[in-house]
């Protein structure tokens, strides 16, 4: 597969992060039990799940052996997305928020992470008045991205979103 197609597919995964930089209307929350009313979405392509503050909009794309499943939701607390790309090899050395940095975000910190036994990297960025957390996780040969974009003060929502990603194999009973 040529490199242009690979770049297009990867670009679709981070599409939500691009558009979120131009959105407005994100407010703070004081709810400490933020995930209690959230919606679980099961990713069909990889059979893992994530919880979202509201029912996510889902895009599925398949082209030349590469599949992308992308789920995103927008709420008053922020924008939250999870994407999975299968069919191209991306090394962990390539895990970096290039698209966000190019858009003007400033990298505040990075760290190695482990989610359900799967290795990855987490990046904290700032862009104007917004705080971005972007994670790249190697999940059984697939790339999983998890991105949250919020205003400062919504750390509890970001922790809830990051903690609600479950990477394990199971047979889903439906998408919701």
CA distances from 148 to 1, 20, 122 (A): 30, 9, 11
pLDDT at 89: 80
pLDDT at 156: 87
Q: Domains, the chain, ranges and CATH? A: 3-163 (3.40.1000)
Question: For residue 147, with 0-12 CB atoms within 10 Å meaning exposed, 13-18 middle and 19 or more buried, which class applies?
Answer: buried
CA angle, 131 then 70 then 109, to 5°: 30
CA distances from 73 to 31, 120, 174 (A): 18, 23, 19
Q: What is the pLDDT of residues 142-164, one digit of tens each?
A: 899 999 999 988 888 898 888 88
Task: Find all residues with CB under 8 Å of 146, minimum gap 6, and list them.
Answer: 50, 81, 82, 133, 134, 135, 137, 161, 162, 165
pLDDT at 86: 87
Closest alpha carbon to 112 in 143, 94, 137: 137
pTM: 0.76
pLDDT at 32: 39
pLDDT at 163: 86
Beta bridge partners of 126: 106, 131
Q: In which residue ranges of the chain is pLDDT below 50?
A: 1, 3-32, 170-172, 176
């Amino acid at each position: 597969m040529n490199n242009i197609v690979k770049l297009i597919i990867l670009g679709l995964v981070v599409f939500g992060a691009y558009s979120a930089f131009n959105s407005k209307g994100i407010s703070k929350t004081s709810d400490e039990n933020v995930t209690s009313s959230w919606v679980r979405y099961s990713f069909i392509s990889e059979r893992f799940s994530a919880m979202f503050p509201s029912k996510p909009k889902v895009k599925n794309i398949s082209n030349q052996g590469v599949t992308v499943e992308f789920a995103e939701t927008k709420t008053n607390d922020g924008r939250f997305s999870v994407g999975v790309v299968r069919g191209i090899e991306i090394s962990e050395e390539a895990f970096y928020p290039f698209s966000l940095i190019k858009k003007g975000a400033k990298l505040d910190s990075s760290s190695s992470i482990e989610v359900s036994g799967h290795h990855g990297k987490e990046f904290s960025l700032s862009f104007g008045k917004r705080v971005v957390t972007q994670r790249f996780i190697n999940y059984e040969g697939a790339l999983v991205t998890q991105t949250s974009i919020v205003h400062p003060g919504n750390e509890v929502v970001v922790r809830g979103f990051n903690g609600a990603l479950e990477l394990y194999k199971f047979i889903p009973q439906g998408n919701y």
